[in-house]
Amino acid sequence: MRLVLIGVVAGFFSALFGVGGGIVIVPLLILAAGVPAHPAAATSLAAIGITALAGATRYGFEGHLDVGHAALVGLPAAAGAVVGATLAQRLDPRPLTLGFAVLLASIAVWLLV
């Protein structure tokens, strides 16, 4: 049931704000479901692909999807994801989790200022 609730929250925030995987799913999987950092990140990446497809389809039906811009952002992002996943597998989960927390806190401060 926790995983279903995490999925609903992630889908809602993904469609509303364009966030989901790293911002919502990973922290909730770690904190609420007790999933270790590496499997949480991998699960998030798989789930966000499905979520992104659903959101993009809905926005596309409304005429708000620019496929060219999506490709210009998405294709390099896919390459970055391969490199990031490879690097993450070589890092200890604890510093990776702490680094992610610092990143999220920095983004929060930046958005508030």
Q: Where along the chain do its domains lie?
A: 2-112
pLDDT at residue number 45: 86
Query: At 81, which amino acid appears?
Result: A
Average predicted confidence (pLDDT) for the chain: 89
Most trustworthy range by pLDDT among 49-53, 57-61, 93-97: 57-61
What average pLDDT does range 43-61 have in this prediction?
A: 87
Band the pLDDT of 79: cuts 50, 70, 90: very high
Sorted by sequence, the CB contacts under 8 Å of residue 18 that are 6+ apart come out as none
Q: What angle do CA 63, 65, 68 make, to 5 degrees?
A: 130
Using a cut of 0.75, tell me whether the model's pTM lies above it: no
Is a pLDDT exceeding 80 seen at residue 18?
no
Is a pLDDT exceeding 90 seen at residue 60?
yes
Half-sphere exposure of 15 (CA within 13 A, CB side): 15
